[in-house]
């Protein structure tokens, strides 16, 4: 009987959380835009194509399961709501991590790709022809971006405009330098091959310095993970070992205040450590 009541409470919590957003038409429209279309569109920018309705359904089911599991473990409606909101927002969190990795991979591919483009230009190919050849040979994800540029160019978009769109999709300083070099070559001429060679050498030196900095700051990044995860792991371990003593932490107002303070301090500490070890080149 208790399990049935708990299940009904979890379902009611999930239904209320989704029903509030759909009470009025403007709220429903805003909810759909933020919860369905925005995450699916953001993933499409990374060439990850997911049906928006299916993404919403998967997020809703995962949020309901998470809220039920947390409610069964802790008996706290507040914790169940927090777990439901966290899981429902997981696509946005995943997109942030994937996009960061996506841009990092493009940055690592740029020196070799620019070197190939410089070789094609020195061999006598026009810039558009060289980009087309490089786009076919470049590995993903940079190959996807270059093929999209050339596809838009073949559909009638000016090459300079297509390159500017690439700069907006991939906001990396290295990409902006490449686009600027190619735009100047199309406007005023000059030795594009030599410019691209110098840009390649600069980017390779930059990547060597960044690799050294990552090695030197790896201990600080690991410390940020440990400092953030240790209190959470200790709280979960104590909950598993002595749930009766830990129950007030999840079921009382004072306990919720303590959890809020813990979350604030944990987030502040993590951000401070990450800020210290973040060195721009």
Both 243 and 280 in one domain: the answer is: yes
**Inter-helix orientation angle 77-88/90-122, to 10°:** 20
Both 222 and 273 in one domain: the answer is: yes
Question: Residue range 126-142: average pLDDT?
Answer: 88
Dump pLDDT digits (tens) for 40-78.
666 666 666 666 667 667 777 777 888 888 777 767 777
Whether 36 has a pLDDT exceeding 60, the answer reads no
Whether 215 has a pLDDT exceeding 80, the answer reads yes
Using alpha carbons, select from 94, 14, 82, 78 the residue that is nearest to residue 46.
Answer: 94
Cis upstream peptide for 141 (omega within 30°) = yes
Confidence band, pLDDT 50/70/90 cuts, at residue 241: confident
Both 55 and 120 in one domain: the answer is: no
Both 77 and 107 in one domain: the answer is: no
Both 67 and 142 in one domain: the answer is: no
Both 128 and 67 in one domain: the answer is: no
Q: Could you tell me if residue 40 is inside a domain?
A: yes
Q: State which of 42, 62, 88 marks the end of a domain.
A: 88
Confidence band, pLDDT 50/70/90 cuts, at residue 111: very high
Both 189 and 238 in one domain: the answer is: no
Question: Residue range 218-223: average pLDDT?
Answer: 82
pLDDT of residue 15: 52
Q: Could you tell me if residue 69 is inside a domain?
A: yes
pLDDT of residue 7: 47
Q: Could you tell me if residue 156 is inside a domain?
A: yes
Q: Could you tell me if residue 210 is inside a domain?
A: no
List of residues 6+ apart from 9 with CB closer than 8 A: 71, 77
Rounded Cα distance, 131 and 148, in Å: 11
Task: Choose the weakest-confidence range: 13-27, 70-84, 160-174.
Answer: 13-27
Rounded Cα distance, 179 and 196, in Å: 11
Q: Could you tell me if residue 93 is inside a domain?
A: no
Phi and psi at residue 32, to the nearest 5°: -65, -40
Q: Could you tell me if residue 98 is inside a domain?
A: no
Task: Choose the weakest-confidence range: 44-53, 56-65, 154-163, 189-198.
Answer: 44-53
Both 51 and 131 in one domain: the answer is: no
pLDDT of residue 244: 86
Q: Could you tell me if residue 72 is inside a domain?
A: yes
Domain containing 277 equals 217-281
Q: Could you tell me if residue 96 is inside a domain?
A: no
Both 153 and 235 in one domain: the answer is: no
* CATH for 109: 1.20.81
pTM confidence score: 0.66
Q: State which of 141, 170, 201 marks the end of a domain.
A: 201
Q: State which of 172, 201, 230 marks the end of a domain.
A: 201
Domain tally for the chain?
3
Whether 182 has a pLDDT exceeding 50, the answer reads yes
Question: Residue range 166-192: average pLDDT?
Answer: 86
Confidence band, pLDDT 50/70/90 cuts, at residue 201: very high
């Amino acid at each position: 009987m208790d399990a049935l009541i708990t299940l009904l409470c979890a379902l009611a919590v999930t239904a209320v959380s989704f029903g509030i957003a759909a009470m009025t038409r403007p709220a429903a429209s805003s909810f759909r835009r933020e919860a369905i279309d925005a995450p699916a569109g953001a993933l499409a920018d990374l060439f990850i194509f997911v049906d928006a309705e299916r993404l919403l359904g998967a997020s809703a089911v995962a949020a309901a399961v998470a809220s039920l599991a947390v409610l069964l473990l802790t008996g706290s409606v507040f914790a169940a709501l927090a777990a439901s909101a966290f899981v429902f927002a997981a696509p946005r969190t995943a997109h942030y991590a994937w996009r960061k990795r996506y841009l990092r991979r493009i940055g690592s591919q740029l020196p070799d790709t620019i070197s190939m483009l410089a070789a094609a230009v020195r061999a006598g190919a026009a810039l558009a022809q060289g980009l087309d050849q490089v786009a076919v040979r470049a590995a993903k994800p940079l190959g996807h971006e270059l093929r999209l540029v050339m596809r838009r160019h073949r559909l009638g978009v000016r090459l300079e405009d297509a390159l500017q769109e690439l700069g907006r999709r991939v906001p990396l300083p290295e990409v902006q330098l490449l686009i600027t070099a190619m735009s100047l070559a199309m406007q005023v001429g000059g030795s594009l091959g030599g410019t691209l060679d110098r840009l390649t050498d600069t980017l390779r030196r930059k990547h060597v310095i960044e690799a050294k900095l990552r090695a030197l700051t790896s201990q600080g990044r690991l410390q940020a993970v440990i400092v953030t995860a240790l209190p959470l792991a200790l709280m979960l371990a104590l909950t598993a070992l002595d749930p009766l003593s830990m129950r007030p932490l999840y079921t009382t107002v004072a306990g919720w205040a303590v959890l809020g303070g813990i979350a604030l301090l944990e987030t502040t500490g993590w951000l401070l450590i990450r800020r210290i070890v973040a060195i721009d080149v």
